[in-house]
Structure 1
Amino acid sequence: MNSKKIDFLISISIVFIFSLSIILYLNYYFTSTIYFTNEQYLVFELFLLFIGVLIFLFFSSSLIKYTFKSDEKLEKDIKNTIHELNIPVSTIKMNVQLLKKSLKEEKNLVRVERISKANENLLKLYENLEYEFKKEIDKIELEEFYLEDIIKISLDKFEDIKKDTIIETNIQNPLLYCDYNGFLMAFDNLFSNAIKYNDKENPYIKIELNDTILSIFNKGEKIDTKNIMLVFDRYFQEDSQNSGFGLGLAIVKEFCDKYKISINIETLKDGTKINLNLKNILRKEKL
């Protein structure tokens, strides 16, 4: 817990204790000097409670106002910084494209290509940072997009690492309506896991949509049944030898919970299948 939170909790606690002390004193003073019937006493206690709330709000309002003002300033500074990060990234991208056209020597072209890939990774980090910031302050705009399009984008991302994996897709192409970046990030994690835990000799992945159920099946390693519920916990890894931090399925679960997408894992004889029920984000196409 940072110092700002500690200071706020201490301050609000002091205000609460101060308000409570005033109410207790008033209660003691009036009940010891005035006789109340049961009905009068109940009304008096409600009146004291109302006074106590007013006192607490009066003294804590400036404290809360200061906290919100500080958060608003921080939000504005972060937003400006994120925006400024886009400028050098875009500049590098533009100049790399110009260099590619003018260079002829193979060595130089290879070097420029490395710069280009590094810049693409930097751009992805920028986009993720911007997305996480918007998500934190609840400013995510929902969008319409087609399922097949977003799956194709995700598959293209992993072109270099999927190698000889056989990927079979059977997707109609429904229109979805939700957080585009969040859905892409969730699917990226599921597809990445499908590649990582695939059969080493005959890697195979099947992505299909049946009615409203989107499923991703991968041959090979199966999740132990006793760990089915634990895999959604942050930092959980069934096999500590695997690379990563155990965040993938936790990110997927967080997204699915937010948009009411039910998710379940099936352990099959020859692999694992993860099912997402998309019924709550399916959009009927406009006529």
Structure 2
Amino acid sequence: MFRSVEIALTSLYVVTTALLLFGVYYLHQVSGIEQWGILAFGALLITVVTGRVLAKIALDPLREHFDHLERLSKETLHELNLPVNTITANVEMLRKTNTDEKSLKRLERIETAARMLKERYNELDYLIKKQMERERIESFDLESALKERLEFMRPLYPGVVWEIQTAPWSVQCDRIGLGKVIDNLVENGIKYSVHNPRIMITMEANVLSICDQGKGMDEITLMRIFDRYYQNDGAMAGYGIGLGLVKRYCDRHGILLHVSSRQGEGTCVKLEFKKGEK
């Protein structure tokens, strides 16, 4: 497919140039027109018309390709969602009829695994829609969204000490994307804590703060944290959509992003939402 695009673009250049030269020659020699303004207009007209036709020929295969990918993505997402929902529903039914402690523990692990699969489904769905610039803007309670994310993460990090102070606050943005932002910031705080991670999450007016008592960063590192793929500790693998994408998400939705850090003391990230929201 991309070979045909290359051929079409090459043809665009060759044919447009040939027609342009021929048009100028015809107007100047055959018609006897001496005004270069008219010649330039004629050449421009030929270029625009030819370019429009050949550009359509070049882009149509790409358009068809991306339409096919979109359909395939939707079908795949639907097929992934169905078994996850089936597992969750059956676990809930078994929990109601089972009182054995060991069996309940096993069911809890299955439920946690199903929840993780559901999260991967939501993340894939979000990334696909994000690539297509189709973020879903909605109004929702930030406190509820935050508790939802913490409910998911707490079983995954049983050794973390959580200090949570929240209050209701209505925001308007892409909920799934904000969930990924929260996940990324919280998990970075956990990842860069050496022992007994402590995560402090507070909401004051329109500001959401996520702080840790981890390694912290020096000033040079702090200046580079939003560079794509940059990591404070190269031995640790990256996670989620990355701090660079966190910043781009905040920029798109008018959320001010503040980061403060002291080496050996920890890092604090603040998301300042628009004051009109409440």
Shorter-chain TM-score tier: 0.7 to 0.9
Alignment pair present for 1:123 and 2:118: yes
Aligned to 1:42: 37
Contact 2:180 2:241 in 1 (8 A): no
Partner of 2:84: 89
Aligned to 1:145: 140
Q: Is 1:18 equivalent to 2:18 in the alignment?
A: no
Match of 2:225 among 231, 235, 240: 231
**After TM superposition, what 4+ stretches of structure 1 lie above 6 angstroms from structure 2?**
none
User: Structure 1 residues 74 and 96, CA, compared in 2 at 3 Å: closer, same or farther?
Assistant: same
Question: What runs of 5+ residues in structure 1 fail to find an aligned partner?
Answer: none
Q: Secondary structure at the match of 1:97?
A: helix
Q: Structure 1 residues 98 and 249 mapped into 2: Cα distance closer, same or farther (>3 Å)?
A: same
Q: Is the 8 A contact 1:220 1:272 kept in 2?
A: yes
Summarize deviations over 1:150-204 as a string: whole Å, max 9, x none: 22222222223153525142x4432100101111110111111122223626x44
The answer to whether the 8 A contact 1:205-1:217 is kept is: yes
Q: Residues 231 and 10 from structure 1, CA distance in 2 versus in 1: closer, same or farther, beyond 3 angstroms?
A: farther
Shift of 1:104: 4.7
For 1:29-85, what per-residue CA distance to the aligned partner results, in whole angstroms no more than 9, with x for missing partners? 433456555xx3123202211121101212332342333233223212221221122
What CA distance in whole angstroms lies between the structure 1 residues aligned with 2:240 and 2:217? 14
2:208 maps to 1:208: no
- TM-score scaled by length of structure 1: 0.83
Superposition map of 1:187-206 within 5 A: 187-198=182-193, 200=195, 203-206=197-200
Distance 1:140 1:11 in 2: 33
RMSD: 2.6
Separation in 2, partners of 1:150, 1:205: 17
Q: Tell me how many residue pairs correspond in the alignment.
A: 276
**2 CA distance for matches of 1:230 and 1:86?**
38
Task: Work out the CA distance in 2 between the residues paired with 1:174 and 1:126.
Answer: 27
Are the equivalent residues in 2 in contact too, given 1:233–1:250 (CA < 8 A)?
yes
Letter in 1 for 2:56: S
Once residues 256 and 229 of structure 2 are traced to their aligned partners in structure 1, the CA distance between those partners, rounded to angstroms, is: 21
TM-score normalised by length of structure 2:
0.86
> In the alignment, is the contact (CA less than 8 A) between 1:235 and 1:247 conserved in 2?
no
**SS state of the match for residue 223, structure 1?**
coil
Q: Which amino acid aligns with 1:23?
A: L
CA contact (8 A) 2:209 2:271 kept: yes
Identical positions, percent: 30
The 3 A distance-change label for structure 1 pair 46 and 73 is same
Q: Does the CA-based 8 Å contact 1:234-1:247 persist in structure 2?
A: no
| Structure 2 unaligned regions, length at least 5 | none
Residue 163 of structure 2 is matched in structure 1 by 167
Please, which of 28, 33, 36 is the counterpart of residue 31 of structure 1?
28
Q: Distance in 2 between matches of 1:181 and 1:246?
A: 13
Structure 1 position 184 matched with structure 2 position 179: yes
SS at match of 1:158: helix
Does the 8 Å CA contact 1:162/1:195 hold for their aligned counterparts? no
SS at 2:267 equivalent = strand
Write the distance in 2 (CA, Å) between the matches of 1:277 and 1:43. Answer: 58
Q: Name the SS of the counterpart of 2:109 in structure 1.
A: helix
